[in-house]
Chain A
Amino acid sequence: MPKNNTFGYGRYLLSIIFAMSLNIAAWPQPMAPFNPNWILLVVIYWVLAAPERVGIFSAWTIGLLTDVLTGRMLGLNALINSLVAFLCLRLHKRLRQYPILQQGLFIFFCLLVSQFLIFWITDSQTIARASYTFWLPVLTGTLFWPLVFFSLRAIRLYRRIR
């Protein structure tokens, strides 16, 4: 048996698939620009919760699938995910002690870095014209972090602790 028996492959994979589904869901037009990067939030959660199971390579693989799923250049989200996973792995011992607000600050930083990378690497007219709406997902992602954190923790620990 693995040392950390609070990790379940099924729950991990299902949460990733659900996050991918949320990422591409057709929200009504006024809400669409607010849609955060759910996949990255879920990856951050699993890296913090089970760093000995979910690491840089799994984050990279998920990023590659995200690129195909959302039609980005191959490697864009893979790069972002692996960098963020690295930050989380380096800091996970401290981050797990932090209250949720301080975690939120870290999440904000991660999302900002990810959006900056998209901004620099994608040389498209689209982003240049999107103006401030391009940065909205960073804010909403931070606001949704407590929801992601508590619901995924509930899912991860459900019927695992006796």
Chain B
Amino acid sequence: MDYLPIRFIFEVIVINPLFATGPSINTRLLVAVVASIALLVAERKSSQLDKLRSVLSMITYPIQSITDWPLHHSKETVESIKSLYSLKEENEQLRQEQLIYKSQLLKYEALEQENIRLRALLEKSFKLGEQVLVAELLSVNLAPFEHVVVVDKGTRFGVHAQQAVLDAYGVVGQVYRALPLSSEIMLITDPGHAIPVQINRNGLRTIAVGSGRINRLILPYLANNADIKEGDLLISSGLGGIFPQGYPVAVVEKIIPQPNKPFAEIYATPKAQLNRSRELLIVWKSEAPIPLETQETEQADENHAEE
């Protein structure tokens, strides 16, 4: 048979040879358990195993994409059989939205310039202009009790761990693990996730922790008398260095004072459409701040630094 070598490799790797001829099942169990524990310990101690995971993810990524396929294509089919009328309506609506956004953008550019000038007066550097990459969500659910999603862009596109991820409405989460063809993104609502935020109204800084519910964040570290109101917008504070400053994160939903405890119970609703967005933006921070003024001032700055 011409496929004999392939079959041989396959049998050695995937299927046991007849076990009557091999070592006893006790020995096999011992080998398997020792190997598993070695892997568990090794992954905790070093990052050497990332390569192994990357290689194996080449095998598992196709399974993720075939799982995504039926849902993705059913949505596409629905789009394609939408009536002309509703498409026209949607088109009109999008046109209007674009007009509004464009006019806002005009003002934004002027404001941006003004901000840069003002910051130059204050001699503060200003980071602006993050680069983004659009990644598409795969409709898969890795573990029921975690809020981790998979997108179809990985290290081949330069994605790396701890990049911020946004959608059109706000902060979604951060890249948790980047694999060659895909990456895993932890949402801000995952119970193991925390994001440094500040209240847009008065600049009060705190930390928003995920609650495990897709529509709720918890602010556990604010005192009972903190200056916070329902409806306050929380933006990313830029502390911690992962999330760029100034993106909307959540809106304060409910404040429950706890007179007998040091901190109040405060809940917020994420701005991002965590369970609806299909396109996500992976953000690259621009490492160097945008130059503030003309070349001369820069040179002056350098001279100043040399002194």
A side interface size, CB within 8 A? 58
Complex Cα distance, B191 from A134, in Å, reads 14
CB distance B53 to A61 under 8 Å?
Answer: no
The docked-state distance in angstroms from the alpha carbon of A83 to that of B220 is: 41
Contact A21 B66 (CB under 8 A): yes
Q: Say which residue of A2, A9, A21, A29 sits within 8 Å of B275 (CB atoms).
A: A29
Determine, out of B55-63, B95-103, B196-204, B246-254, the stretch whose residues face the partner at the interface: B55-63
Distance between A135 CB and nearest chain B CB, rounded to angstroms: 11
**CA A80 – CA B44 in complex, angstroms?**
18
**B205, CB-defined interface residue at 8 Å:** no
A161 within 8 A of B: no
Question: CB-CB < 8 A to A74: which residues of B?
Answer: 39-40, 43, 49, 52-53
Q: How many A-B residue pairs have CB under 8 A?
A: 153
A26 CB-CB contact with B under 8 Å: yes
Pick the contact of A78: B39, B63, B144 (CB < 8 A): B39
User: Which residues of B (33-67) have their CB < 8 Å from a CB of A?
Assistant: 33, 35-40, 43-44, 49, 52-53, 56-57, 59-60, 63-64, 66-67
Cα A137 to Cα B148 in complex, Å, equals: 18
Decide yes or no whether A55 CB sits under 8 A from chain B.
Answer: yes
Given A26-B71, A60-B32, answer yes or no on A127-B145 (Cβ-Cβ < 8 Å): yes
Residues of A within 8 A of B (CB): 2-3, 9, 12-13, 17, 20-21, 24-27, 29, 32-35, 51-61, 63-65, 68-76, 78-79, 82-83, 86, 89-90, 121, 124-130, 133-134, 137
Binding site for A on B (CB under 8 A): 10, 13-16, 18-20, 25, 28-29, 31-33, 35-40, 43-44, 49, 52-53, 56-57, 59-60, 63-64, 66-67, 71, 139-146, 148, 176-177, 184, 190-192, 212, 214, 275
The 7 closest A-B pairs by CB, nearest first: A75-B39, A79-B36, A82-B32, A55-B16, A130-B145, A75-B36, A69-B60
